[in-house]
Structure 1
Amino acid sequence: MNKFFIIICLFAFSLGNAQVVGSNHSDYTQADTLRGSLRPERTGYDVQKYHLKLKVEPEKKFISGSNIISFKVTEDLPVMQLDLFENMKIDSIIHNNKSLQYERRFNAVFIEFPKPLKKGTSDSIEFFYQGNPIIAENAPWDGGFVWDTDEDGNPWVGVAVQGTGASLWYPNKDHQSDEPEEAQIDIAVPNGLMNVSNGRLISEKDLKNGFTEWSWKVVNPINNYNIMINIGNYKHFSEKYKDLDLDYYVLPYNLEKAKEHFSEVKDMMACFYEKMGPYPFIEDGFKLVETPYLGMEHQSAVAYGNEYLKGYLGNDLSGTGIGLKWDFIIIHESGHEWYGNSITSKDIADMWIHEGFTSYTEAIYTECRWGKVDALKYLRGIRQNISNTSTIIGDYGVNAEGSGDMYYKGSNLLNMIRSIYDDDELWWDTFRDYTKTYKHQTITTQETEEFFNNMTEVDLQPVFDQYLRHASLPVLQLRQGDDKILYRWKADVSYFRMPVDVIIDEEEIRLNATPEWQSYETGEELDEFQVNDLEFYIETEILD
């Protein structure tokens, strides 16, 4: 296989998410349930803050330290479940200056309190641990640490954990439904290196033992998999877009190249502000951090490893040439700040809320810079990466995503809903309102469906059901009649109804197709009939 085909195949397993089992899967284990489900040991408390204080030793590929976990008790809590991969050693878990008893089951840690914590109280524990965390063989497609060196021989360390779980390197409630309201990340690294984490740098401290501690603070809600460390011999430069600080951390020999290449960020922000609304984490700023792997959407510290190339490692996922006009990793991973980081799915089964919307931001940026026609052509082009063999939505409660189609089938679904609206002003108002309404929240597919459905007289529920909960596309069946064309839908959803725009004799016509045969009076033959496939992603079938 050539390199481009390999890239496409990898992307089909989703950028950064291939480590999670997909949907239509039945052999789930107890470990899957412990990770993916919500039981009283998890729902009985609401995380308020993580305060990580770690020492990272690149030569040993070793980390050690603690996480102070602050929380509110929402129900009387005799036992708390946290998560930490079983290969990591627990030193102690301290509450009120006393060690707590705990039991480990797979990657779950069940902590027993001497007396149940009372509903309505606020509390904290400090969890001390150490170990050699899992190493990623091919980040970000598998989760773990990347222990690398730069061209000058300096340690260069990154981490990618989405799907696999943040608990592979620090203890937390590893479920997307609960985000801490803030986080502090204190990381000690060998002198001469820098650690870049999420949020703002609050201090740099020489520990006088050969290590320097870099402390960062996030003041907005943040998902566990977004909390991150990036260690290297970084050089920093910065600029502003409106009231937003833009900071860049790159390797020294790429500094001048980065200053030129990252100029695209301002164009991107101008577009996203217009179409999606203001950057959702202004207090924490925006960063691009050069990493030894391709990229990830780490909140306010976006990982960048696209080698300063346009497209996706110099390739165009759409096959149209349009994807070579911009840097895929800058646009896609930054788009996640709005969709995935600010708006987060409660269960990873609904990850299309992250990936479908973020993939659509690629078309949004294209439209801002090069016009709607190019955006539509790009969206049509990326359909070549859609398999239509399994569902976009995964299985709930077992830490299972849906298929990689969540990316580009999801983005084409959104584009099609825009076409159903048939009113661009209404569409962009709705899109911005959705982004604002659910800012800094965890939500479900049902909430997303209801939001977009409420803004139009067309019932979108059959559309959502077919595209999200079934693998195949709806088929517009056509038959030639006398001076008319007959049409109807064939779909998995028995009640499937959706308007579709077709072109007959160079005129665009909207057919309000249903499962029942209907007719359109015309003297034209079927070979003069064409679906507007730039805006509608369907199949057609001509019957005798």
Structure 2
Amino acid sequence: MRLIYFIFCFLLLPFTSKGQILTANRTDYTKADSLRGSLRPERTSYDVKKYKIKVRVNPDKRYISGVNKMQFRILKPTQRIQIDLFEEMNLDSVVFNQKKLQYKREFNAVFIKLPTVLQPNNDLQDIQFHFSGFPKVAKNAPWDGGFVFKKDQNNKHFVGLAVQGIGASLWLPNKDHLSDEPEELEMTIECPKNLVAVSNGRFITSYEVDQNFKAYQWKVENPINNYNITINIGDYVHFSDKFRDLDLNYYVLRGHLQAAKKQFEQVKPMMACFYEKFGEYPFKEDSFKLVESPYLGMEHQSAVAYGNAYKNGYRGTDLSGTGIGLKWDFIIVHESGHEWFGNSITASDIADMWIHESFTSYSEAVFVECEYGKDAAETYLVGLRQNVQNDEPIIGDYGVNAEGSGDMYYKGANMLHSLRSTVNNDSLWWKTIKKFHENFKHTTTNSTAVIKFFEDETKMNLAPIFRQYLKFAELPKLLIKRENKIVLVKWEAKAKNFSLPVEVITNNKTFRTQVSTREFTKLQIGNSENFKLNNYGFYFKTEVIN
């Protein structure tokens, strides 16, 4: 355990944000936001079971056209359902039981009138959405959503798609809410004949469509987030490998094959670490893929987008500023970590996106610990604090498709490490983390359920700690004062009943004191007036008072 000396002063780190937050905090919500983010009867009345998508991508024109055949089950009596598609896209027709249906657009929501009131039962219904248009082109993927149309070094088309936050309805008519994932997906992409199209899941077949286009079929056998449904088109070459019984598939641009084979060797030790700490890869039926992309990266399920130029670090830099982040490829580790947290365990509202990003950012430190030890992991986590803003709550506003602060990345990771230090039992901690994934695998969930799980498993009152870091912008502050040779401490925090241990070491002995916000508590420091305060294991601020 690394510690810092405390002699009534502390170091303030400069804060710069580098987290991949995709939308800024807002308060000026509109009806369009509510239509996009809320769960009303037009959405809760049915459950999506499958998407069968066929889409043609014309890179020369930056134009797409296709059909999404949605299979669904009625949960509550309804004659009106909502799907979502951006206004920039054309909804050419809606077909149900071989008849075209009427629909009404309101912003990016589409309300469809069914022929009769459908009643709940076990029967599956099928509806087809025919669409076309010029989809939004991302200006700076993946931070803003859309298609990416570029050319590779040989002047061939190189196409990608990233829509986290903004949503799959940017291009695809679908029920665009995190709470409802299709249980399976079939995707057929038609692209120019001299290119290869890659999507989620396993490759099924390819065939020529006409003299200019070729089709590639893919299939996913597990629940999948709508924003994870992806399109990759390029002059790809394929190679494969195995980790235990997991198929590893890689699609990289022609000319990058040797660089990819060397860089992607990092996948196996990463998998070994994550298997040990989080459990087996959650989409084994669909295989694991890294697909070279024309942007930095994204956690597309079973088709992780990779654009880190075959360099270690984050675009060749270390976000922690410690040098540890340059020992491994950030995009491989972080985006693959999302397969467990975000893709397998999914927030039911984007306001709880911390469930995706905090655990995945923590997985970076978990990988560091597997490879280089706990001291290195703690050093890496402390280094990441320079990116934390402490400006807004990590949890966003519910029902309006609003993410919280980008602090969900590195403040969230340090929160989880503080929880580990609070539990103070690594065997129990790792058992709880693994059980968390195993119990919540392939489900959507929320903050309340996650916090309750950790409390139940550890038999500890952790909710106030979660609340302080997630619902309030400010870090907990340790107030310190000295009365003669006695050091008194007390937490200043906004979360009710907040309590966190304080650890010090003096004369080679470690003392641990449970401290609350209620009253000053005598800090155990042994017989020495000087002591070391552990803010590697815990993330907080300090203030000396008279």
Question: What TM-score do you get using the length of structure 2 for normalisation?
Answer: 0.95
Q: Superposed, which structure 2 residues align to 1:146-161 within 5 Å?
A: 146-161=148-163
- Partner of residue 29, structure 2: 28
- The question of 1:74 aligning with 2:75 is answered yes
Give CA-to-partner distance per residue, 1:6-54, whole Å, 9 cap, x none: xx95x53x32x42x242xx321011100000000000000000001111
Task: Return the letter of the residue paired with 1:56.
Answer: V
Aligned to 1:325: 327
| 2:352 corresponding residue in structure 1 | 350
Q: Deviations over 1:443-488 (max 9, x none)?
A: 0011110111112343111111111110101111111123321111
Distance in 2, Cα, partners of 1:458 & 1:202: 48
Match of 2:99 in 1: 98
Q: Is the 8 A contact 1:480 1:525 kept in 2?
A: no
The separation in 1 between residues aligned to 2:521 and 2:371, in whole angstroms, is 41
Secondary structure at the counterpart of residue 32 of structure 2 = helix
Listed as ranges, the matches of 1:103-502 within 5 Å are 103-120=104-121, 121-502=123-504
Partner of 1:45: 46
Instruction: Classify the secondary structure of the residue corresponding to 1:405.
Output: helix
Alpha-carbon distance in 2 for matches of 1:397, 1:27: 13
Contact kept in structure 2, 1:343 and 1:441, CA below 8 Å: yes
Distance 1:80 1:209, change over 3 A: farther
Task: Name 1:519's counterpart in structure 2.
Answer: 522
AA paired with 2:47? D
Other-structure match for 2:3: none
Alignment partners' CA distance in 1, 2:271 and 2:27: 42
Is the 1:483–1:523 Cα contact (8 Å) retained in structure 2?
no
Question: How far apart, in 1, do the equivalents of 2:108 and 2:507 lie?
Answer: 62
Q: Partners in 2 of 1:190 and 1:179 — Cα distance?
A: 30
Q: Normalising by the residue count of structure 1, what TM-score does the alignment of the two structures yield? A: 0.96
- Contact 2:168/2:226 (<8 A) preserved: yes
Q: How far apart, in 1, do the equivalents of 2:503 and 2:107 lie?
A: 52
SS at match of 1:466: helix
Gaps of 5+ in 2: 1-14
Q: What CA distance in whole angstroms lies between the structure 1 residues aligned with 2:229 and 2:253?
A: 21
Contact 1:420 1:500 in 2 (8 A): no
Asked if structure 2 preserves the Cα contact closer than 8 Å seen for 1:195 and 1:229, the reply is: yes
Q: Distance in 2 between matches of 1:494 and 1:66?
A: 51
Higher relative contact order (CA 8 A, sep 6+): 2
- Secondary structure (helix, strand or coil) at the match of 1:339 reads coil
Moved over 4 A (4+): 521-526
| 1-structure distance, mates of 2:526, 2:48 | 66
Superposition deviation, residue 441 in structure 1 = 0.4
Q: For structure 1, list consecutive stretches of 5 or more residues without a partner in the other structure.
A: 1-7
**Matched-pair identity in %:** 54
Mapped contact 1:483–1:521 kept (Cα < 8 A): no
Asked if the contact 1:86–1:107 (Cα under 8 Å) also holds between the matched residues in 2, the reply is: yes
Confirm or deny: 8 A CA contact 1:483 1:522 kept in the other structure: no
Per-residue deviation, residues 410-465 of structure 1 (Å, max 9, x unmatched): 11111111111111111111110001000000000111101111123431111111
Q: 1:362 to 1:370 in 2, by over 3 A?
A: same
SS of aligned partner of 1:374? helix
* Counterpart Cα distance in 2 of 1:76 and 1:145: 37
Tell me, in whole angstroms, the C-alpha distance in 1 between the residues paired with 2:426 and 2:526: 32
**Are the structure 2 counterparts of residues 408 and 418 from structure 1 closer, same or farther at C-alpha, using a change threshold of 3 Å?**
same
Task: Please give the per-residue CA displacement for 1:238-274, whole angstroms capped at 9, x wherever unaligned.
Answer: 0000010000000111001111111000111111111
